[in-house]
Amino acid sequence: MITLYLKSYNKVVKEVDVKVLDNLGYDDILWIDMFDPTIKERRAVEEYMEFSLQTRQQIEEIESSSRYSETERVVYCNTNFPTQSDRTFEIAPVSFALCEGVLISERTFDSKTFAEASKKIQINYKQYPTGFHILITLLEVRIDLDADMIEMVSRQVGHLGKHITLEGNVDKDMLRRLTLLQDNSMVLRENIFDRQRVLSSIMRSDRFPNDTFPRLQMMLKDIVSLLSHADFGLDRLDYLQDTAMGLINIEQNNITKLFTMVSVFFMPATLIASIYGMNFKYMPELSWKYGYHMAIGAMVLTSSVIYWMLKRKKWL
């Protein structure tokens, strides 16, 4: 699907029919947003803009030169947007191209970023005279959403930390949640760092209007703060992981200690029962009238002594 954002009588109009491109000039268009376009739709945009869009492989490459590049007519900008699927965050690549002041975006997923940017453009159209301004707005909205996602993860980490501290027991579900939060935090940090690389490349470019650079500088400052917050969250998760493993080790040690004390407690009685359970014909106590009572008494006495010793050392 393709959505066109057109300049029309002091406002921005949305159009979804790609055929209108035949009657428009570059000055009439601000933004061409392609959401999972067909081959026919991509070809129509390429013929209209007179340049080739990037392939899927080019969009997903992670080299710095692939994230931002410029040709004589076109500025290419690739980045990743995190998307939430169930309880996990996934990386979704997005491609931007700027040519003749027109922004062309290509994506394969529905994102709140584009919906929020579309609202802003239609509400205050005077702030978006070119596609360059729209790209900056999309990145601003994405950074705000990244901050919301980091804050959400931070709340989940705090809740999990309180649960571990107050409950003092760790189960499989808690370890899964801890691992999931670590994975989500790393995905967010990776995406924010990718955004920093793109913005740094834009700052070095002379294609963007001068009035966008104060906004770019502010976004870079915000990204530095987000990276610090993400690093703090990862350090906190490492601390919680160490705490959880420590609690697991303590619980395992207590279980081992319990089995050891039980073994020591019954060891003398077991020894006595083993001795008098032998079937030799000539045993001194075999014909003794009180042999059975003596064996039972010895078992009780030795077990009582062991119990008293463990109690005295406060091991019980």
Mean pLDDT of 38-59: 82
pLDDT digits (tens, 9 = 90+) for 289-300: 777 777 788 888
Q: How many other C-beta atoms lie within 10 A of the C-beta of residue 310?
A: 14
Question: Residue 218: its pLDDT value, please?
Answer: 92
Residue of 168 and 302 predicted with greater confidence: 302
Angle between helices 172-203 and 213-276 in degrees, nearest 10: 160
Q: CA torsion angle for 271, 273, 274, 279 (degrees, to 10)?
A: 150
> CB within 8 A of 79, min separation 6: which ones?
67, 93, 94, 96, 139, 194, 195, 198
- Residue 65 confidence (pLDDT): 60
Q: Give the type of residue at 301.
A: L
**Buried (b) or exposed (e) across 48-73, using 16+ Cβ within 10 A?**
bbebebbeeeebeeeeeeebbeeeee
The predicted structure's pLDDT at residue 315: 64
Tens-place pLDDT, residues 177-189: 888 888 888 888 8
Q: Which fold has domain 2-248?
A: Beta Polymerase; domain 2 (3.30.460)
Domain coordinates of the chain in residue numbers?
A: 2-248, 253-312
Q: What's the CATH superfamily of 253-312?
A: Magnesium transport protein CorA, transmembrane region (1.20.58.340)
| 208 or 250: which leads in pLDDT | 208
- Position 288 pLDDT exceeds 80: no
Instruction: Inform me whether the pLDDT recorded for 219 exceeds 80.
Output: yes
Query: What pTM value is reported for the model?
Result: 0.76
The two tokens of residue 111 are: 């994102």
- Minimum mean pLDDT among 159-163, 227-231, 259-263: which range? 259-263
User: Is residue 62 over pLDDT 70?
Assistant: no
CA gap 171, 167 in Å, rounded: 11
Q: Using one digit for the tens of pLDDT, what is the confidence trace for 230-251?
A: 888 888 888 877 777 777 777 7
Report how far residue 101's alpha carbon sits from residue 31's, in angstroms, rounded to the nearest whole number.
Answer: 9
Is it the case that residue 316 has pLDDT exceeding 70? no
Check residue 234 and give its pLDDT: 83
